[in-house]
Structure 1
Amino acid sequence: MTTTDTSTTSAPPGPAPYRWRWAALFVILAAEVMDMLDALVTNIAGPTIRAELGGSAAVIQWLGAAYTLAMAVGLITGGRLGDIYGRKRMFLIGAAGFTVGSLLCAVAQNPELLVGARVVQGLFGAVMLPQGLGMIKEMFPPKEMQAAFGLFGPVMGLSSVGGPVLAGWLIEADFFGTGWRMIFLINLPLGAAAVLAGLRFLPESRSPHPLKLDFPGMLLASLAGLLIVFPLVQGREHDWPLWSFLMIAGSVVAFVLFGWFEARKSRAGGDPLVVPSLFRKRAFTGGLVTGIVFFSGMIGFSLVFNLYTQIGLGYSTLTAGLAMAPWSVGMVVGFGLAQPLQKFGRKVLHSGTLVMTLGVLAILVTINLAGIGVSAWQLAPSLLFTGIGMGLLMAPFFAIVLAGVEQHETGSASGTLTAVQQLGSAFGVALLGTVFFGLLGGNVATAADDVAPKLRADLAAVQVTGARQDAIVTALRDCGRDRAVAKDPQQVPASCVRLEQAARAAATSPQSGAAIQKAVMTAGADAGKEGFGIAMKTILWVVAGMLLLTFAVAFLLPKQPLPEDQMPH
């Protein structure tokens, strides 16, 4: 006779899944959307903000770099704060702080306060964002986990498509006379809703074995990042003084000190910000270089392209936002195409890099063929193609890099790669923005020489010849160059005053004066557009080179990605 003891032979039922898990997931997704939008909107709004608040061209760069640099240095520490003090608590603090930072951005009355408010947004965003992933892993049973994480792709895709368009529309609509400030004010109801819904629906969650905080490591990483980004943004405007090169050299020293400190902390049994053993892995170091080069190129390109379309071609903010939409749509398509191709691993990443390179070169060809009248519709096919390549590259990137590290290192490696993504974004805005602005003066002057024959013909048609014609042509060249490099866009350069005086002096009647004015304005506008186009084409060559470097460095990565069930999410 046998009996069955159910108390010993059947496993006790596990805890029931968290009741409000789907509502909590949408709260977490709302936070992701706020971050995605705020990372994108200043690329569209930058020229408008500078026109109202003033400041040098560096202001446009700092609007993006301040946010992403603050986010980069805070992300890993933000995750540990949730492990120690509770993920719900830190999510709510992060969301509330992010909302306050958005309000500070919206009410800023000068560029310095706005850039400072962007730092506040980035730091609190770094506290808010890492908490969601830990809560999802605790809330959802294994059979629902994939579906929960699967929602991130579409939501992020829609945000990347809609973000620039929304920014352009809000600025152009000028609700209640707020102009560009509405791109930040819109975060107030979103942030308040996230806090209130978070109080109600998010679960209490923390790690049973949290890692200790590494504030010295974070400070060293912050210092190293700032020492490289600050001189890249500000050095050009001060004609590259000695301090700019000393700061760049100092950043190398700070990164070395960071590595030494982390290794020392690890040997002493502490919890370093980054596990030092990762740097002995070829896959991880290759992933860092790949990530920095790739994200620098892409985010830097995004900024420069918006400057080109808005300031150079004269697109409205809405048109500029719509012009970027094909790129974002392509990225979503590329992500979708990459999913069934995951088994091909590194080949998918390499294919995406080559597709992107061809797309970037196609943009260059389009600008060459269409000239100064290039439209958003003409740019759309090559931007779509570029976006598809970007999606193919990004989709397997993290899984491929993490396949080359030990299982116990995946958490640190994943957090570091995410931080490097943000650091690369800040570096790209600083580097490519600086190269672009540095090229403009000379390129506009060159373009003025190109339009000079037509200007001379138009002036000769109204009997402006000889020395008077030469004075106008020379002053137009100088005015275009000086406007392109002006530190204060509100101040009229002396060369432009001379141009106006030369045009007035050449007029013999009201009719000839109007004709001269029209000829000068047309030539100036054409030279400006052509000069911006020359600078844009140079940047496209730089980006293509960065993509080919990405292709080469990616050979250091493993051939196959880490299986989905081993990803740290």
Structure 2
Amino acid sequence: MNSNSCCTLSSERAVSAPPWLGLSVLLLAGFMTIFDLFVVNVAIPSMQTGLGASFAQVGFIVAGYELAFGVLLITGGRLGDLFGRRRLFIVGMASFTLTSVLCGLAPSANFLIGARVLQGLAAALLFPQVYASIRVNFGGDDSRRAFGLLGMTLGLSAIAGQVLGGWMVYADLLGLGWRSIFLINVPMGLFALAAARCIPETRAPQRSDLDGTGMVLSSAGLTLLLVALIEGPAQGWPGWSFWSMSAAMVLFALFYRQQEWRRMRGGIPLVDMQLLSQRRFALGAALVLLVYSTSSSFFLCFALLMQTGLGLDPLVAGSIFAPCSLGFILASLAAPRLVARVGMRAIVVGALVYALSIGGLIVQVRMGGAELVAVRLIPVLVVVGAGQGFIMTPLLNVVLGFVAETQAGMASGVVSTVQQVGAALGVAVVGLLFAKALTTDDGVIVQAGQYADAFVAGMFYNLGAAMLVYVLLLLLARAR
């Protein structure tokens, strides 16, 4: 055991005293990785001015992180299983901090694109260790509380990307402009590295070589899928995007067969396909995909409506969105206790509230049109945030609770990947609907009232997805 560790070394069993101090470090890491996924959206105009970036380059600045992050999450989870989750946490956090410096000091748009890809790769090493370490080191009521705090943290990090990020860009801290959204990671990353010794070191008890073939197949398949979902809508869904998705499906089929072959020959696969054949885990993964697809696309559409459509600056737009975080926080604090008391019914009710609040938001924006007064959306935004909190906060604990501790890293990588695929899917579908509603027959982009119509068109996907979440949660509650 490392004599410098303030916690106990563990193989796969939860430690007797849950490491709450270590949890705070894990939550900080979760916040940083998701914050950097969303915060770039509010800094796009500043980046275009400061770097002379084209629209295509800005798209790659956003997509480069998303793509690299999503592609290696499964591998990152498995590496933690094999070599130690705290060790991978430290490697991932150090890499994430360094690449954040590169992003913040980028002299050109192309340099920033490359740095964002490297930052996404670092996040893919770091993020699965957060899930897996909580799954292994906390049990029972402690697990519900820990995952509740994680769900709340991840939701708040996405919201903070809009609110805090908008303020940082507007305030022009130390004259850094958009660069401050990356450089803020440096003190947080150094603190996390210093405190990482309070995270117990855990790894899977059964060691094996890393499945290189599975890693290549899964990474190639995810790359083709995410490139199509992220870049396809921006380019009007050209033919290559559909070929890319088709090739991804072929690679996923090969990955499935290769993983089963490896398992049947006694090896340890990158992803045990029997995990995905478990009905409850499969339903839970589908729920994660749908919930995070609505979250990501909602943030994008709201930012476009407020800033581009209504002409609000990032600070004011973030302030309008801030009350959503109030509803999210209150619901996140209440959700674990309600789930412990009444079970899955609490999440089911939260899903119904979420769907109804999205419907209410659609009606209000539709009625307001070009005369929409943004502050009048605040009450319904509070309810939207509460609905998200009642679902997202306890859902992670429920889904990962379906798997054995020996599969914690593997399941964490799968869930993390599903989150990113869901986010890309939601943005792709909603972005397509949004852009179509903005374009007239002669190709001229129109203004304020049409942005309200575009928001409504995009949010119809979220409404349908939220209703499907409600139905799947009912099925999951009956399957328990």
Which TM bucket (shorter chain)?
A: 0.7 to 0.9
Aligned 1:306-321 pairs, distance under 5 A: 306-321=303-318
Per the alignment, residue 29 of structure 2 pairs with 31
Per the alignment, residue 175 of structure 2 pairs with 177
Does the C-alpha gap of structure 1 residues 144 and 541 become closer, same or farther in structure 2, counting only changes over 3 Å? Answer: closer
- Bigger shift: 351-360 or 545-554? 545-554
- Structure 1 spans left out of the alignment, 5+ residues: 1-13, 446-477, 485-526, 562-569
Does the C-alpha gap of structure 1 residues 166 and 241 become closer, same or farther in structure 2, counting only changes over 3 Å? Answer: closer
Per the alignment, residue 534 of structure 1 pairs with 453
Instruction: Give the whole-Å Cα distance in 2 for the aligned partners of 1:56 and 1:332.
Output: 37
Q: Kindly provide the amino acid, as one letter, of the partner of residue 178 in structure 2.
A: W
Is structure 2 residue 25 aligned with structure 1 residue 106? Answer: no
Q: TM-score, normalised by structure 1?
A: 0.72
What is the deviation of 1:136?
6.3
What is the deviation of 1:317?
0.9
What is the deviation of 1:195?
2.5
Does the C-alpha gap of structure 1 residues 60 and 249 become closer, same or farther in structure 2, counting only changes over 3 Å? Answer: same
Secondary structure of the residue that 1:559 maps to in structure 2?
Answer: helix
What is the deviation of 1:357?
1.7
Instruction: Give the whole-Å Cα distance in 2 for the aligned partners of 1:324 and 1:219.
Output: 41
Whether contact under 8 Å (1:75, 1:415) holds in the other structure is: yes
What is the deviation of 1:63?
4.4
Whether contact under 8 Å (2:72, 2:124) holds in the other structure is: yes
Q: Give the aligned length.
A: 468
Is structure 2 residue 461 aligned with structure 1 residue 549? Answer: no
Instruction: Give the whole-Å Cα distance in 1 for the aligned partners of 2:9 and 2:181.
Output: 43
Deviations 1:154-204 (A, max 9, x none): 655654554432211110111233211110011122222322444x65565
Secondary structure of the residue that 1:290 maps to in structure 2?
Answer: helix
Instruction: Give the whole-Å Cα distance in 1 for the aligned partners of 2:358 and 2:54.
Output: 28
The counterpart of 1:80, out of the listed 73, 78, 81, is 78
Whether contact under 8 Å (2:204, 2:406) holds in the other structure is: no
Whether contact under 8 Å (1:262, 1:276) holds in the other structure is: yes
Secondary structure of the residue that 1:108 maps to in structure 2?
Answer: coil
Per the alignment, residue 369 of structure 2 pairs with 371
Alignment RMSD, CA only? 3.5
Whether contact under 8 Å (2:294, 2:462) holds in the other structure is: yes
Whether contact under 8 Å (2:294, 2:426) holds in the other structure is: yes
Q: Kindly provide the amino acid, as one letter, of the partner of residue 266 in structure 1.
A: R
Whether contact under 8 Å (1:94, 1:127) holds in the other structure is: yes
Does the C-alpha gap of structure 1 residues 135 and 415 become closer, same or farther in structure 2, counting only changes over 3 Å? Answer: closer
Whether contact under 8 Å (1:356, 1:389) holds in the other structure is: yes
Whether contact under 8 Å (1:65, 1:425) holds in the other structure is: no
- Bigger shift: 391-400 or 98-107? 391-400
Quick check: which has more Rg, 1 or 2?
A: 1
Whether contact under 8 Å (1:25, 1:136) holds in the other structure is: yes
Whether contact under 8 Å (1:350, 1:551) holds in the other structure is: yes
Whether contact under 8 Å (1:41, 1:164) holds in the other structure is: yes
Deviations 1:437-461 (A, max 9, x none): 343222xx7xxxxxxxxxxxxxxxx
The counterpart of 1:437, out of the listed 435, 450, 454, is 435
Instruction: Give the whole-Å Cα distance in 2 for the aligned partners of 1:538 and 1:352.
Output: 24
Deviations 1:387-440 (A, max 9, x none): 111122223434444566677656644442232112211222233224323432
Instruction: Give the whole-Å Cα distance in 1 for the aligned partners of 2:424 and 2:91.
Output: 25
Q: TM-score, normalised by structure 2?
A: 0.84
What is the deviation of 1:260?
1.6
Instruction: Give the whole-Å Cα distance in 2 for the aligned partners of 1:278 and 1:137.
Output: 16
Deviations 1:200-239 (A, max 9, x none): 6556554443454223323322222222232344345545
Does the C-alpha gap of structure 1 residues 309 and 131 become closer, same or farther in structure 2, counting only changes over 3 Å? Answer: same
Instruction: Give the whole-Å Cα distance in 2 for the aligned partners of 1:145 and 1:431.
Output: 34
What is the deviation of 1:94?
1.0
Secondary structure of the residue that 2:439 maps to in structure 1?
Answer: helix
The counterpart of 1:332, out of the listed 325, 329, 332, is 329
By relative contact order (CA 8 Å, sep 6+), the higher-ranking structure is 2
Instruction: Give the whole-Å Cα distance in 2 for the aligned partners of 1:225 and 1:547.
Output: 25
Whether contact under 8 Å (1:47, 1:311) holds in the other structure is: no
What is the deviation of 1:322?
1.9
The counterpart of 1:277, out of the listed 274, 277, 281, is 274
Whether contact under 8 Å (1:291, 1:424) holds in the other structure is: yes
The counterpart of 1:125, out of the listed 123, 126, 145, is 123
Secondary structure of the residue that 1:437 maps to in structure 2?
Answer: helix
The counterpart of 1:257, out of the listed 213, 237, 254, is 254
Instruction: Give the whole-Å Cα distance in 2 for the aligned partners of 1:328 and 1:355.
Output: 16
Q: Kindly provide the amino acid, as one letter, of the partner of residue 90 in structure 1.
A: L
Whether contact under 8 Å (1:330, 1:391) holds in the other structure is: yes
Whether contact under 8 Å (1:344, 1:560) holds in the other structure is: no
Does the C-alpha gap of structure 1 residues 340 and 63 become closer, same or farther in structure 2, counting only changes over 3 Å? Answer: same
What is the deviation of 1:24?
4.3
Whether contact under 8 Å (1:220, 1:257) holds in the other structure is: yes
Does the C-alpha gap of structure 1 residues 65 and 211 become closer, same or farther in structure 2, counting only changes over 3 Å? Answer: farther
Secondary structure of the residue that 1:557 maps to in structure 2?
Answer: helix
Instruction: Give the whole-Å Cα distance in 1 for the aligned partners of 2:148 and 2:228.
Output: 40
Whether contact under 8 Å (1:99, 1:192) holds in the other structure is: yes
Report the identity percentage: 37
Instruction: Give the whole-Å Cα distance in 2 for the aligned partners of 1:123 and 1:315.
Output: 34
Deviations 1:45-78 (A, max 9, x none): 2344345445565655554443344333323322
Secondary structure of the residue that 1:223 maps to in structure 2?
Answer: helix
Instruction: Give the whole-Å Cα distance in 2 for the aligned partners of 1:361 and 1:51.
Output: 37
Per the alignment, residue 351 of structure 1 pairs with 349
Whether contact under 8 Å (1:67, 1:121) holds in the other structure is: yes
Deviations 1:99-145 (A, max 9, x none): 12212222334444333322222221222233356666888899987
